[in-house]
Amino acid sequence: MQLIGMLDSPYVRRVAISLQLLGLPFEHQSISVFRAFDRFHAINPLVKAPSLICDDGTVLMDSILITQYAEAFPQKKRSLLPTGLGELQRALRIIGLAMTACEKSVQIVYEHTLRPAEKLHEPWLARVSGQLVAAFQALEDEFAKRPRAVTSTAIDQATLTTAVAWYFSQKLVADIVPAAGYPALVALSTAAETLPEFAAAPYGDGTYRPY
């Protein structure tokens, strides 16, 4: 399998970390959807990161669908999702919050970087910023109330996606969600970034190297 996309994308990064925790080997090509549009387009004409080239050549996209596919491998080491209905419901709620936090962070970044300054639309930015704060406030409340184990054998999809989303936000939109207001997420992120699976897929323009 080949994971396509840069690790400065929280979506690419959560797939890289998930595949490692599941024990599924993969190669990684750090290709930018912006600076290397043509190269990406040759792999996936929709130019969406992450894309996953499966062993039979099929190209999947969307991190939720790729992690769903990965969970179906019979040789996976363990599942990153709980099986009981109640626990699954709690996990999916957290994943939804964290994915929305990623989406709102990305929308704010795109609004600032892809639009000419005079076309920046303040009402849209205010709306998206409010949604971002609401997502991280709900995550903060959740992890403050019930801290999760952050080890390679215990971390689950909800916790890893939250950690990736928070780290990404602190790189790019920390003015909107300053660390001081989110101590539980800071503690979670600090612990997660020390795990080998996170360190092997660091945020940025590097390439995943198996540890």
Q: Does 21 bind ligand GSH (CB under 6 A)?
A: no
How many residues bind ligand GSH (CB under 6 A)? The answer is: 11
Do residues 87 and 148 make contact, with C-beta atoms less than 8 angstroms apart?
no
Q: Does 30 bind ligand GSH (CB under 6 A)?
A: no
> Which listed range, 60-68, 71-79, 80-88, 200-208, lies at the site for ligand GSH (CB under 6 A)?
60-68
Q: Does 48 bind ligand GSH (CB under 6 A)?
A: yes
Q: Which residues of 104-130 are buried (b: 16+ CB within 10 A; e: fewer)?
A: bbbbbeebeeeeeeeeeeeeeeeebbe
In the list 16, 33, 101, 185, the residue contacting ligand GSH (rule: CB under 6 A) is 33
| Residue 196: cis peptide before it, omega within 30 degrees of 0 | no
Q: Does 106 bind ligand GSH (CB under 6 A)?
A: yes
Q: Does 9 bind ligand GSH (CB under 6 A)?
A: yes
Strands 59-61 and 27-29 come out as unpaired
Q: What distance in Å separates the CA atoms of residue 177 and residue 132, rounded to the nearest whole number?
A: 8
Which residues of this chain interact with ligand GSH, rule CB under 6 A? 9, 11, 33, 47-50, 62-64, 106
